Structure 1
Amino acid sequence: MLLTRFLLLLILLAGGGAAQAQFGPQGPPAVGVITAERRPVTESTEFTGRIEAVNRVDVRARVTGFLQERLFQEGQEVTAGDVLFRIEKPPFEAQLEQARANVASAQATLENARVSLARARELRQTGAGTQVNLDNAQAQERTANAQLLGAQAAVRVAEINLGYTDIISPIDGKIGRAILTPGNVVTPSLTEPLATIVSQDPMRVAFTVSSRAGLELRNRYESRGGVNAVVVRIRLTDGRVYPHAGRIDFIDTQVDRNTDSLLVRALIPNPKRTGVQAGAGDRELIDGQFVTVAVEGAEPVQAIVLPRAAVLQDQGGNYVLVVGEGNQAQRRGVRLGQALNENVVIEDGLQGGETVISEGLQRVRPGQPVNPSPAGEPPRPAGGAPGGAPAGGRQG
Structure 2
Amino acid sequence: MSRAKLACVVALLAPALVEPAHVRAQEGAPVSVVSAALKPVSNAKEFIGRVESPEHVEIRARVKGMLERVLFKEGETVREGQPLYAIEKPLFEADVQQAEGDLERAKAALALARIDRGRADELLAKNSGTVVARDKAVADVDTSAGAVLSAEAALNTARINLGYTDIVSPIAGRIGRTAVTRGHIVGPDSGPLVTVVSQNPMYVVFPVSQRDFLEEQKKKGKTNLDDVEVRVKFSDGSVYDETGRINFIDVSVNRGADTVIMRADVPNPAGRLIDGQLVRVELTGKTPEERVVIPQAALIADQGGVYVFAVEDGKAVVRRVKTGAAQGSDIVVTEGLKPGEPVVVDGFESLRPGAAVRAVPAPGLKS
| TM-score past 0.5 threshold | yes
Distance in 2 (alpha carbons) for counterparts of 1:314 and 1:183:
68
The within-5 A match list for 1:275-286 is: 283-286=271-274
What's the offset of the Cα at 1:199? 0.7
Aligned to 1:202: 201
AA matched with 2:284: E
- CA offsets per residue over residues 164-214 of structure 1, 9 Å max, x none? 111010000011111111111111111x31110011111111112222222
What's the offset of the Cα at 1:310? 3.3
Aligned to 2:321: 334
What's the offset of the Cα at 1:373? 4.3
Distance in 2 (alpha carbons) for counterparts of 1:7 and 1:349:
61
Q: Tell me whether 1:150 sits opposite 2:160 in the alignment.
A: no
Give the TM-score normalised by the residue count of structure 2.
Answer: 0.88
AA matched with 1:293: V
What's the offset of the Cα at 1:127? 1.4
Q: Tell me whether 1:253 sits opposite 2:245 in the alignment.
A: no
Aligned to 2:27: 28
SS at match of 2:81: coil
SS at match of 1:207: strand
The answer for unaligned runs of 5 or more in structure 2 is none
Distance in 2 (alpha carbons) for counterparts of 1:313 and 1:164:
67
AA matched with 1:35: S
Aligned to 1:232: 230
- CA offsets per residue over residues 11-53 of structure 1, 9 Å max, x none? 7547845652464342232444433332222222112221111
Distance in 1 (alpha carbons) for counterparts of 2:8 and 2:38:
62
AA matched with 1:226: N
Q: State which drifts further: 290-299 or 63-72.
A: 290-299
SS at match of 1:24: helix
Distance in 2 (alpha carbons) for counterparts of 1:70 and 1:86:
7
Between Structure 1 and Structure 2, how many residues are aligned?
A: 362
SS at match of 2:106: helix
What's the offset of the Cα at 1:9? 3.0
Aligned to 2:214: 215
Aligned to 2:40: 40
Q: Tell me whether 1:346 sits opposite 2:300 in the alignment.
A: no
Aligned to 1:394: none
Which of 278, 287, 297 is 1:299 aligned to?
Answer: 287
Residues 363 and 88 (structure 1), Cα distance of their counterparts in 2 relative to 1, 3 Å cut: closer
Contact 2:321 2:337 in 1 (8 A): yes
- CA offsets per residue over residues 120-158 of structure 1, 9 Å max, x none? 111112211111111111111111110011101111111
Aligned to 2:269: 271
Give the TM-score normalised by the residue count of structure 1.
Answer: 0.82
Aligned to 1:140: 140
Distance in 2 (alpha carbons) for counterparts of 1:237 and 1:23:
56
Distance in 2 (alpha carbons) for counterparts of 1:225 and 1:212:
14
What's the offset of the Cα at 1:218? 3.7
AA matched with 1:307: P
Distance in 1 (alpha carbons) for counterparts of 2:123 and 2:217:
87
Distance in 2 (alpha carbons) for counterparts of 1:261 and 1:316:
27
Distance in 1 (alpha carbons) for counterparts of 2:40 and 2:196:
44
Distance in 2 (alpha carbons) for counterparts of 1:194 and 1:11:
106
What's the offset of the Cα at 1:327? 5.2
| Root-mean-square deviation over aligned CA pairs | 2.7
